[in-house]
Structure 1
Amino acid sequence: MTSTDTPRFGLVGTGSWARRTYGPALQAHKGVDLVGVWGRRPEAAAELAAAHHTTAFDDVDALFAACDAVAFAVPPDVQAPLAARAAAAGCHLLLDKPLAFDPEAARAVVAAADAAGVASAVFCTLRYAPVTAEWIACQAAAEGWFTGRADWFGALYEAGDDAAVRAASPWRAERGALWDVGPHALAVLLPILGDVVATTARRGPGDTVHLVLRHASGASSTAALSLTTPPAAAGISVELRGAQGLFAMPTEFGVAQESLAVAVDTLLESARTGVPAACDARFGLRLTEILAAAQESLESAGPEPRLGE
């Protein structure tokens, strides 16, 4: 891909996230050419490709061969091995979060990208939304942080009534908020407070998970993650406390398609310069490692003692 070429993008995935965000954002982006779509269901790939005036590929490796970069909108356990194949084929990688469920699978993506010398970017939405990205960068440049709090209370479905979610996105219903919105919380906290060196996780109602994190900087943080929040109580908030006072993250997140367009620009800049993106596959690997440690903490906790019994 030279500086005068229009980068050729492929899209892997045909689910709602591909239809609502990835497909429209890639088609609308003036700096790329959406040359094809591949999905595990050929009929869905044909429908999505027709909607965006591009080609449906029957063979994913043929799509990789036709592309300079590939965007992934598939479940994490599907994404990781395909991303490694795409990297080996010389494609730059626009990845979704989480990169993988298994740290070893995530490491394989990093190794493949390093071996091929391709760029990567993981679409952690708030790291690309202009208002929140600027806020994160500003706080990351400051010092003296004491503690942080990140709350991701989603009302995707109500506890005990997850049939629709299981039908539309089985991995979200199975893995829950820890793996779906946990990457968002970590992607905000880590650049500000530093890497996580200790993780404790405990369950709440529904799929709610509470994290207690110790950071390399010495600061601590908590994260409350849920997809089963009552709708009236749903919302996202991040709050930091430190030597300079109390700081709350803005809540103007913008539209996901606009943030994805910034992620595309970030990937292309990394491919052009050779400078890794802040949220590259290696960062995605670190998120997977932390989430896996939190999952292990949940599974090893055992029954919680009830006070007074």
Structure 2
Amino acid sequence: MEKIPANDYHVPVLYHETLDALSIVPDGIYVDCTFGGGGHSRGILEKLGPNGRLIAFDQDADAQQNIQNEPRLLFIPQNFRHLHRFLRLHGIDQVDGVLADLGVSSHQFDEGERGFSIRFEGPMDMRMDRRQTLTAADIIKTYSEQQLHKLFEQYGEVTNAKTLAAHIVQQRVRLPFATIDQFKALISAVVKGNPNKYLAQVFQALRIEVNDEMGALKEMLEQLTKVLKPGGIAAIITFHSLEDRLVKNFFKQGTFEEVIDHPLLSIEKPKHFQLVNKKPITAGAEELKRNSRSRSAKLRAAARL
């Protein structure tokens, strides 16, 4: 089995499983929506012939340090929500496969100044694209109690989301929270259970909101029917139940909400995708031992009809 390409920037999860799911044809055109450390991209390029092409998207400027001198690779420094627009801009109508690994890269977690991790002191930032202005500190400072409650509950599955939101609104007028340590001190009185797990859920919720990750994912999924050729495959790796549910519902029924079959209503909706794997693929024992961040990864793949 070929070695998984990894570097200090990021170790790609479900590497072999993802490449297998994409069923790469040598002269095909593929899109890596989340270039990051370039691990999955390197795997795709190895399977492509001289006429194959890879288009890589990444909104994080740091990812550009991983670009190889490779004539078959086109790098687009943008959020993948603009997938269709930028493919058309470069004269590409349809592609053979699309990959998206929705996890935060190890590099982003390990750089304290980015504000993604509870392990380091740094600014409450969390922007993947530092060209945008909204930061985690802005959300904590300006969102209403109701808005904070909703985002902690939905995006972080925080057990006492309502109490946390009320506490932040009450305390933020008198306590500073520009840095991670200051924010941790601000909410310390309401932390429940395992502090590390609790804080990780709170930070996840803020990160998802700062980067509008759910909105971007929905927009990208809706463009797949335009950008994929018939038979083309989309492979999406999620790390959160909300993301996974969006992908699962979209692949199965072309909508983001769960559709319950009604015995008296038989409205046939046009089907756009055929599942490649009926159940999500998860990391095996060896990968879990090697990379703990793979434990929540789920890969779903579907072919365009």
TM class by shorter chain equals 0.3 to 0.5
Greater relative contact order (CA < 8 Å, ≥ 6 in sequence) = 1
TM norm structure 1: 0.34
Counting strand residues as a fraction of each chain, which structure ranks higher? 1
